[in-house]
């Protein structure tokens, strides 16, 4: 069994400020973890993924996330927000088996203020 909790359905930051989107997971087996971004009326785009290699994962658009097993967390960060980062962000977990289903969090809407 697996689940994802995204703390904070809405996050608002000023342009240039730190972005922190929180994700906690539970999984009965070692997990793969993902962050996706969704712009209005579009599909999801992968930002980054954790696959049991390095615990600090760097992704596209300056985002990174750190896998912390002891805290069962996989928070997404970006040092300096840009207006174009405004979107919906989803954290997802899947078992580390071939073609395993992913479970998605409820999403966090990121707003960037000028």
Partner 1 sequence: GAVVSQHPSRVICKSGTSVKIECRSLDFQATTMFWYRQFPKQSLMLMATSNEGSKATYEQGVEKDKFLINHASLTLSTLTVTSAHPEDSSFYICSAINRGTYNEQFFGPGTRLTVL
Asked whether position 94 contacts partner 1 by CB under 8 A, the answer is: yes
Sign of CA dihedral 22, 48, 63, 65: positive
Pairing state of beta strands 10-14 and 108-113? parallel
Is-contact 25 2, C-beta < 8 A?
yes
Stretch that binds partner 1, among 19-27, 61-69, 73-81, 94-102 (CB under 8 A): 94-102
Site string for partner 1, 62-91 (x = CB under 8 A): ----------------------------x-
- Rounded CA-CA distance 34/51 in Å is 9
In the complex with partner 1, the residue whose CB is nearer, 62 or 107, is 107
Asked whether position 46 contacts partner 1 by CB under 8 A, the answer is: yes
- Rounded CA-CA distance 53/76 in Å is 17
Residues that bind partner 1 (CB under 8 A): 32, 34, 36, 41-46, 49, 51, 90, 92, 94-102, 104-107, 109
């Amino acid at each position: 069994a697996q689940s994802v909790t995204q703390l904070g359905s809405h996050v608002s930051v000023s342009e240039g400020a730190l972005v922190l989107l929180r994700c906690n997971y539970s999984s009965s087996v070692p997990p793969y973890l993902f962050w996706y971004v969704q712009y209005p009326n579009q599909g999801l785009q992968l930002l980054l993924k954790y696959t049991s290699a390095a615990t600090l994962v760097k992704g596209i658009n300056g985002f990174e996330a750190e896998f912390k097993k002891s805290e069962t967390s996989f928070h997404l960060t970006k040092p300096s927000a840009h207006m174009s980062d405004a979107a919906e962000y989803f954290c997802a977990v899947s078992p580390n088996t071939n073609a395993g289903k992913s479970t998605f969090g409820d999403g966090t809407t990121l707003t960037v203020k000028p």
